[in-house]
Amino acid sequence: VIEAGFPISSEGEFEAVRAIAEEVKGPVICALARAEKADIDRAWQAIMAAERPRIHTFIATSDIHLRHKLRMSREEVLERLVEAVSYAKRYTDDVEFSPEDATRTDIDFLCQVVEAAIEAGATTVNIPDTVGYSVPGEFGRIIRTLKERVPNIEEATISVHCHNDLGLAVANSLAAIKNGARQVECTINGIGERAGNASLEEIVMILRVRKDLYPYFTGVKTDQIYPTSRLVSAVTGLTVQPNKAIVGANAFAHEAGIHQDGVLKEKLTYEIMTPETVGIPRSHLVLGKHSGRHAFKERLKELGYELTKEELDAAFRRFKKMADRKKVVYDEDLVALVEDEIFRVPDKYKLLHLNVQSGTVTVPTATVQMEVDGKVVLEAGFGNGPVDAVYKTITKITRFKGTLVNYSVSSITGGTDAQGEVTVKIEEDGITAIGQGAHTDILIASARAFVNALNKLEYMKGRRLEGI
């Protein structure tokens, strides 16, 4: 099941959900809607082209929400949810219902709500820990109570949706599975509102590794977990912390001597799963400056990339330049390189040349040569540091009037010749753009990321003018 978005929230969200419904075949495509007819109508308009459409409608049920947000009585909420579920059933047989803030809802009322939703036609009942308030023992009891006290509970699938405000989203989800939940709402890399949601990769791999405790099958192709994690990180600009379970850079790194010795003798001593299981190749060293185009193409294929001839040509040229600078080229280098080539928009701005002078007694100075709409421009500028000097000079050339919202840098590979990846977020006139750049020189990576973001910003401004 893919819950693609909340169509009524904005025109952009609606178009994104509709595109997913039209293009993605196989999974259930679900759209979110409040318990309002207008929301449900809009949700259906977005997903009606899906092979397997689902409408997910919700209303808050905790007393604190009823009093302060909805200003409704329990009876009014029951009436509204029945009306909403029944209305959604006119469009599709697959309807999901959520009592928002379920974990702070009176348990007797929650049982009433769930029974009424199923009676109205809900085929999935989702129990959200909306504010990440619950703990595993308590959350498991809530699911067990629903199983025991709701007379028609077997007519619907119990789902859970856990937030990570107390760091318990995954643990709560597992407690729910133990007590009868058969759908878990989760996200790649655990991204989500506030502290995030339950992490898909963690739940999937727990179920795979601990089949003795959780004898359930997910159908997830686990060897696509790491490539998907990288893709999500690239698109959202949210970097994955190095010690993140399953997909972090250190997830399969063994630094302690005792650990290294044990792994060399027998992997199972310190590895409960293999890197290959989640799509991380065991062999990190794959290519060098003597590697040819065919080997490069095959390795990219193994990493999950199918490039056009033009994309492959551009990526291979970048690879050869990188191989001349680095002793070894790792898979992580290749992923960063290819993503830099693929996630591109038309280049209004091109970085041609960068020279930076900095030191203990030198004012950081950057000289930048760029191509702007086909014309070469050369400019120099000062800053409070080398990166600041580069960004101020590029800003002068491009006449960028917005703000730099966020700047982050991470090392993709180890060693002093490691490739750095820079992610920046910029905003201008209400439009936000995320740019990324990778290079062994962090200043070049920083400049590339800024230019990448500026090109995306110009592209989105153009689409806005065209009314797209």
Domain CATH code at residue 49: 3.20.20.70
326 lies in the same domain as 402 = no
332 lies in the same domain as 447 = no
> What pLDDT, on a 0 to 100 scale, did the predictor assign at position 142?
99
Quote the CA–CA distance of 41 and 328 in Å, as a whole number.
55
Judged by DSSP in three states, 250 sits in coil
Looking only at the bridges linking them, the beta strands covering 420-428 and 431-439 are antiparallel
Residues 6+ apart with CB under 8 A from 264: none
Asked whether 379 and 397 are in contact (CB, 8 A), the reply is: yes
Last residue of some domain: 325, 342, 359?
A: 342
Can you give the C-alpha Rg of the chain in angstroms? 25
Biggest CA-to-CA distance, the chain: 77
Residues 6+ apart with CB under 8 A from 103: 127, 128, 129, 130, 131, 133, 134, 138, 139, 142
7 lies in the same domain as 154 = yes
320 lies in the same domain as 374 = no
56 lies in the same domain as 94 = yes
Q: Position of tokens 């007797």?
A: 108
Judged by DSSP in three states, 53 sits in strand
164 lies in the same domain as 264 = no
**Domain enclosing residue 7, as ranges:** 2-185
Please name which of 155, 117, 119 lies closest in space to residue 127, comparing C-alpha atoms.
117
**Quick one: angle between helices 293-302 and 331-342, nearest 10?**
90
Asked whether 218 and 204 are in contact (CB, 8 A), the reply is: yes
Residue 213 lies in a domain: no
61 lies in the same domain as 112 = yes
Q: How many helices (DSSP H) and strands (DSSP E) are in the chain?
A: 15, 15
Q: What are phi and psi of 283, to 5 degrees?
A: -85, 110
122 lies in the same domain as 102 = yes
Per-residue pLDDT of the chain (468 residues; tens, 9 = 90+): 999 999 999 998 999 999 999 999 999 999 999 999 999 999 999 999 999 999 999 999 999 999 999 999 999 999 999 999 999 999 999 999 999 999 999 999 999 999 999 999 999 999 999 999 999 999 999 999 999 999 999 999 999 999 999 999 999 999 999 999 999 999 999 999 999 999 999 999 999 999 999 999 999 999 999 989 988 887 887 888 888 999 987 777 644 444 445 444 556 655 678 888 998 866 444 577 778 888 888 878 766 677 888 888 988 988 888 888 776 777 767 877 776 666 567 889 999 999 999 988 889 999 999 999 999 999 999 999 999 999 999 999 999 999 999 898 887 666 666 778 898 989 998 888 888 888 889 999 999 999 999 998 998 788 677 665
User: CB 31: neighbour CB atoms within 10 A?
Assistant: 31
409 lies in the same domain as 267 = no
CATH of the domain at 362: 3.30.160.270
**Number of structural domains found in the chain:** 3
363 lies in the same domain as 444 = yes
Please name which of 413, 433, 423 lies closest in space to residue 239, comparing C-alpha atoms.
423
Residue 252 lies in a domain: no
Asked whether 152 and 119 are in contact (CB, 8 A), the reply is: yes
